A = this chain, B = another copy of it.
């Protein structure tokens, strides 16, 4: 069991943990991030915590004001719409590029990613909500695989951040939209394999817009 170099750094693994804790709502939106509290709960020193928080500030998951410490970025209906619009903009563009350039390797990747996602969607549909986090992980991997042949590392980087911001809003919703989403995922896979760019973009827009509507209808403060 050899660890990769990054994992041996407390800072990096802490960063992954805290980022997930924010995205999946274990650190609630707007909550204060008291340095001493974090030091205890994560078991690292204040300096390491601060380095991590500064990275999250740069990405926009955490806000810091003056000498008043750190807070998890708040969520607002406007924020959801802004992030969703950005996700559509970036992902639709990347998807188009990816469908132009993708080879058979790429096709294999998206088929494999969809299969994993599909299995989780079945479990979720059967009522097994314990796999919620894995399900969203595979959701990410599927969308990521679709755009993975776009040829722009910068675009993939930006999309990753925006996707997670969007995901944070989705994780706040407790009710299930899996049936519709699962169908859209199938349609998306088919359109990608058929290299039908127009259909793919249409389904993607519908997929994301549907998630926004669903989140807004079930909004809770």
Binding site for B on A (CB under 8 A): 5-6, 8-9, 11, 47, 50-52, 54-60, 65-67, 79, 82-83, 85-86, 89-90, 93, 152-155, 157-158, 162, 165
Contact = CB atoms under 8 A, between A and B. Distances in A.
A38 to B, nearest CB: 15
A126 B89 CA distance: 41
Contacts of A79: 154
Given A51-B50, A58-B55, A82 B5 contact: no
10 contacts: A5-B65, A9-B67, A54-B54, A55-B57, A58-B59, A82-B152, A82-B153, A85-B155, A86-B158, A154-B162
A11 B66 CA distance: 10
A15 to B, nearest CB: 9
Contacts of A162: 154, 158
Contacts of A158: 86, 158, 162
Nearest to A155: B86
Contacts of A9: 66-67
A89 B85 CA distance: 13
Nearest to A4: B66
